[in-house]
Chains A and B, each alone.
Chain A
Amino acid sequence: MATPTRTTESGPALRRSAFRRSRGDGPFRFASTGAGVVLLAIMAAIGLFLVVKAVPALQANTSHFLTELTWQPNATKPVFGIGALAFGTVLSSLLALLIATPVAVGVALFISHYAPRRLASALGYVVDLLAAVPSVVYGLWGVTFLVPFMLGPSTFLNDYFGWIPLFSGESIVGKSMLTASLVLAIMILPIIAAISREVFLQAPKMQEEAALALGATRWEMIRTAVLPFGRPGVISAAMLGLGRAMGETIAVALIFPATFKISFQILGPYGNSIAANIANGFGEATEVGRGALIASGLVLFLITLLVNMAARFIIARRKEYARAAA
């Protein structure tokens, strides 16, 4: 009979020592909990230290931070405000969202429901590659290729659609709000497409087949079974994309003409954003200047925080809904 010889490790009696109960488990549990707490502390510290360094600059400001348009924090009498920068940030991001969302939804549908099965995942990877291109490369591409290229289409828009306020204006340039928004759109497209693709793939197969069995065309099936199911997912994906667009820095820093004017003429030589201003203004900033930039960063942090939390909230609600449906 194969009866292994008894090792010293296993005595006949159970261990009684209470100290042995969590031998090693305590420290490991402590370390992993600690890591999570460190993460929370970092988030809190980000808010805290931005406030700490922003306050002195805000006190030195001789104008109202939230409404002032100009940005001259390095002057002996510092004057600066977030007005024009916040306007540019929001306008460029919204335009980018407007351009990117329909295309991203199309791309997601293409990969989830139209592309040949064997190619689908490879094509999905191609779209993901768009996200892997570093921001500064889009900036370089934008400023050397897209800016001169956009002059033609922009002039065309101004000539024939100039009656629309967005496309109106006297001077038409390549370094415009529209070009910056276009680059932002390219950069957020893969995020929106990837999340939308996931939700479209999760659409219940049974309902899709039911729609097809009723004689629906592919588009009718998508409209009745896929899009309604995916709508909350697409909305939250778009909001995540919006958050990303608002925080995007280097690419737009190279493209924006860095003016401090509020203008809806997206083809003209106007436009700036909080993030771009930080990148462009940091080099020659004085102490008050740095504080002012940090204050603007704090505003950006808060805006993106709100947008992201809203997006997460929608996703979380959808998860509950999906669980209830399952």
Chain B
Amino acid sequence: MTVQTGIQPISATRRAKDRLVQALVYLAFALAVIPLVSVLWLVVKNGAGRFDMEFFTHSMRNIGARDAGGGAYHAIIGTLEQVLLASLIAVPIGLLTAVYLVEYGEGGRLSRIISFFVDVMTGVPSVVSGLFVLAFWILVLGMSFSGFAGALALSILMMPVVVRATEEMLRLVPRELREASYALGVPKWRTIVKVVLPTALPGIVTGVMLAVARVAGETAPLLLTVFVTDSINNDPFNGPQMGLPLYVFNQTILPTDVAVDRAWTGALTLILIVMLLNLVARLITWWRSPARRR
């Protein structure tokens, strides 16, 4: 055997393999970004056409599939009300459940069961939550289709997201802070309300906003619960309402170009709302994190 001296280059096949994998990994990323760019580009390009005052101030009342004009005012109002109501239901329940899991559950049997079902709930298809509200609220209890029924369905989708986000943030609050409060003779519940929750608040707000962003774009549960209307209905508790995602869906299935144009503008509005929520949520975390380290 000859003794080799100096730094030997690695074999050509090994180097080629390494390069090949690197190329594949870069390709994978490009493949993932292409649809995103395509979707965003088409939404902006096609949505800009009807992005006008009429779209944001008018409903679709008395406007047929072939008629130009019309707007999504009724759908935007509906979405805002439905998402707000859903948050009012889901955030307290989600927050308190997370408090239970972190502060009171102590790894007991009940807390493990709840934790497991929170995970399971995360996987409930959105259409199933809509079917549940349809079966329970509308068919069994005999309530009418309404924005509130839609909010119920959306809240089921929000809850597990809020629980997980809050739980994660509560676990990040150092134990020393809780102990400092206990050592001052503060009862546990006041410690949670006045010390633990305020410390975790920015993270919780971020989590809630991401949850809101997620449900704001949901169509299937609305389809089964708020029904569909072309008119403005400001009352989420009575009668059919519209939602922006549902509006996009409804205009998409119409066979005319003017309807599809409205769908694109609806999609653009929806994406702007969702992206804005996402952006604000990330900004809160970003803005908060260096302050923490200081």
Contacts and interface: CB of A to CB of B under 8 A. Distances in A.
B80 interface: no
Interface stretch (B11-19, B55-63, B233-241): B11-19
A43 interface: yes
A32 B103 contact: yes
Given A24-B189, A35-B97, A104-B28, 6 more contacts: A106-B31, A144-B260, A193-B32, A247-B128, A282-B223, A290-B139
B134 interface: yes
A275 to B, nearest CB: 5
B131 A140 contact: no
A135 B111 contact: no
A38 B128 contact: no
Contacts of B181: none
A293 B38 CA distance: 34
A218 B25 CA distance: 12
Contact of B249 (A46, A139, A294): A139
Contacts of A218: 18, 21-22
B140 A125 contact: no
B278 interface: yes
A42 B163 CA distance: 14
A278 B136 contact: no
Contacts of B38: 141, 145
B127 A249 contact: yes
Interface string A109-124: 1110011000000010
Contact of A109 (B25, B116, B127, B249): B25
Interface string A34-59: 11111110110110011011000000
- Which 4 A/B pairs are nearest by Cβ-Cβ distance? A247-B125, A106-B28, A134-B217, A308-B123
B3 interface: no
A166 to B, nearest CB: 21
Given A29-B189, A49-B132, A114-B26, A134 B99 contact: no
Contacts of B245: 134-136, 250
Nearest to A217: B18
Nearest to B246: A136
Interface stretch (B66-74, B171-179, B200-208, B262-270): B262-270
Contacts of A138: 39
Contact of A279 (B105, B163, B223, B264): B223
30 contacts: A28-B193, A32-B97, A35-B97, A36-B96, A38-B93, A38-B97, A40-B113, A46-B129, A49-B136, A53-B135, A103-B31, A109-B25, A110-B28, A133-B36, A133-B39, A134-B274, A135-B126, A135-B220, A136-B248, A140-B267, A144-B252, A217-B17, A244-B123, A247-B125, A247-B128, A249-B126, A278-B127, A279-B223, A301-B125, A312-B119
B219 A312 contact: no
Contact of B136 (A24, A45, A243, A275): A45
A50 B125 CA distance: 14
A52 B139 CA distance: 10
Interface of B: 10, 14-15, 17-18, 21-22, 24-29, 31-33, 35-36, 38-40, 42-43, 92-97, 99-101, 103-105, 110-111, 113-114, 116-129, 131-132, 134-136, 139-140, 156, 159, 163, 187-190, 192-193, 213, 216-220, 223-224, 245-246, 248-249, 252-253, 260, 263-264, 267, 270-271, 274-275, 278, 282
A232 B63 CA distance: 54
B125 A249 contact: yes
Nearest to B32: A107
Given A25-B188, A217-B17, A290-B139, A39 B114 contact: yes
B128 A132 contact: no
A95 B172 CA distance: 39
A304 B21 contact: no
A132 B21 CA distance: 29
A266 to B, nearest CB: 19
Given A247-B126, A279-B127, A304-B124, A110 B29 contact: yes
